[in-house]
Amino acid sequence: MIRLNKMIHVRGIDIHVEINGDEYLPVIVFLHGFTGSTATWSTVSSSLGNKFRTVAIDLLGHGDSAVPEHASRYSMEEQVQDLEQTFKELGLTHFTLIGYSMGGRVALGYTVNYPQRVLQLVLESSSPGLQTKEEQTVRRESDSRLAARIREEGLHSFVDFWEELALFQSQKTLPETTRRAIRKERLQQSVTGLSNSLIGIGTGSQPSYWNRVETVLHPVLLITGELDMKFKNIAREMKQHFPIVRHITVENAGHAIHVEKPHLFATMVEEHILSWKK
Ligand SMILES: C=C(O[C@H]1C=C[C@H](C(=O)CCC(=O)O)[C@@H](C(=O)O)[C@@H]1O)C(=O)O
């Protein structure tokens, strides 16, 4: 299988992209979550490799992509434009778009702005943002405090805190090699990238897309883990608004289904795409 690592220069910054699979195959674009990188998709990508061309992107401040100094550069509006210019540079016109957690929020943000590009949308453990200005204000303040903690205490202390969140308790039953890989990926991030992401594109900083969900006419697959009550409930609410939607709750899985059950995740994605293939 052909594996390409590219740095795409768009809008004054470099975006790292990892591409697997032949050019003639249908394209799936993957967007990782907060503290993640293209590495999080490696097993899923390998599982899909001979049927799809997979394009995994390091979002701003993550992986090998640029780490701008100012948090305002990480806004949803800026990163949606970064993605559009990256896709243009790569010659990608139509693709399935898959986002995990923060990457799902960006995927939805991209889809509502560039619907003509997206064939199907898969949101894993994600949301359209927050519904009220009050919720947004409280979340921005919380994320701002967490960003300050990252800057003051450093990456190791933050990762120790982060991996103890309830969302990730199910990861403790994963093989040691998998847990080490998740921790290594998080520790490879930067203080500036993570703190600016929280401030610039945190859940409370992005626009609320709750009133745009009904305009998304693409086939949408929502994937959540049975053990992730918060995002399972958010998906149930989103399901009331997307016109064409399916919600799969994966048994014995938490927030990061694609990490905990990568081959099942790949199968769900493939079946979703093929069920709507024109
Ligand atoms: C803790 C909450 O929100 C965070 C949880 C998940 C999001 C994410 O991308 C985590 C990915 C990972 O660490 O594997 C993150 C985000 O969307 O930016 C949220 O800040 C919560 O309770 O909402």
Torsion from C-alpha of 198, 201, 205, 207, nearest 10 degrees: -160
pLDDT tens for residues 148-181? 999 999 999 999 999 999 999 999 999 999 999 9
- In the chain, the domains with their CATH numbers are 3-275 (3.40.50.1820)
pLDDT tens for residues 93-121? 999 999 999 999 999 999 999 999 999 99
Ligand 1 atom with minimal separation from the 182 CA: 14
Whether 197 lines ligand 1, by a CB cut-off of 6 Å, is no
Measured distance CA(178)–CA(181) in Å, rounded:
5
Measured distance CA(94)–CA(132) in Å, rounded:
33
Burial class of 11 by CB neighbour count within 10 A (0 to 12, 13 to 18, 19+): middle
ipTM value: 0.99
Q: Would you state the pLDDT for residue 3?
A: 81
Q: Would you state the pLDDT for residue 49?
A: 75
Ligand 1 atom with minimal separation from the 256 CA: 14
- Centre of ligand 1 from the C-alpha of residue 34, in Å: 6
Strand order, beta sheet including 3-10: 3-10, 13-20, 53-57, 27-31, 95-100, 118-124, 220-225, 245-250
- Place 278 in a pLDDT band, splitting at 50, 70 and 90: low
Q: b vs e for 246-259, b when ≥16 Cβ sit within 10 Å of the residue's Cβ?
A: bbbbbeebbbbbbb
Q: Would you state the pLDDT for residue 45?
A: 96
Whether 127 lines ligand 1, by a CB cut-off of 6 Å, is no
Ligand 1 atom with minimal separation from the 255 CA: 14
pLDDT tens for residues 172-203? 999 999 999 999 999 999 999 999 999 999 99
- Centre of ligand 1 from the C-alpha of residue 185, in Å: 15
